[in-house]
């Protein structure tokens, strides 16, 4: 029981001391170094925020040019997928229509050559 109490006490001390600064024995951060590190981190965070704002501005401009406003990225991706599928379906329909036209033309040419002798034989029968 004493051992468990000691472990709990040590973990409580570690939790309390976690907000203190850790120092390595070979390296001690000076206040100037801490200031420089903070400035560097602040500039990196500011750059990241600026890049995000620029990206969002260009994305919103693209959405407005497409006539889509107040859309999030999920719906933009879904709209792109739908447009791609619609394009492929349209292309497939055009190809099938062309094939049907070719078949109709071939059939009409074949019917025209068959219909001419048939028509001539009908004309002979009607004359008699």
The CA distance from 83 to 67, in Å, is 14
What integer pLDDT is reported at residue 91 of this predicted model? 94
Phi, psi (5° rounding) for residue 111? Answer: -65, -35
**Residue indicated by tokens 């951060």:** 29
Closest CA to 60 of 50, 71, 51: 71
pLDDT, tens only, 36-76: 999 999 999 999 999 999 998 998 888 788 777 766 777 77
The CA distance from 99 to 82, in Å, is 26
Q: What is the DSSP letter of 27?
A: B
Per the prediction, the chain carries an average pLDDT of 78
The CA distance from 5 to 19, in Å, is 23
pTM of the model: 0.37
């Amino acid at each position: 029981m004493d051992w468990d109490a000691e472990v709990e006490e040590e973990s409580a001390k570690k939790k309390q001391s976690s907000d203190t600064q850790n120092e390595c024995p070979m390296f001690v951060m000076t206040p100037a170094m801490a200031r420089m590190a903070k400035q560097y981190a602040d500039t990196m965070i500011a750059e990241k925020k600026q890049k995000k704002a620029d990206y969002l501005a260009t994305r919103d401009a693209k959405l407005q040019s497409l006539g889509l406003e107040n859309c999030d990225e999920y719906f933009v991706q879904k709209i792109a997928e739908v447009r791609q599928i619609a394009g492929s379906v349209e292309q497939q329909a055009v190809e099938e229509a062309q094939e049907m036209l070719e078949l109709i033309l071939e059939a009409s040419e074949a019917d025209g050559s068959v219909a001419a002798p048939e028509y001539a034989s009908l004309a002979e029968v009607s004359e008699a």
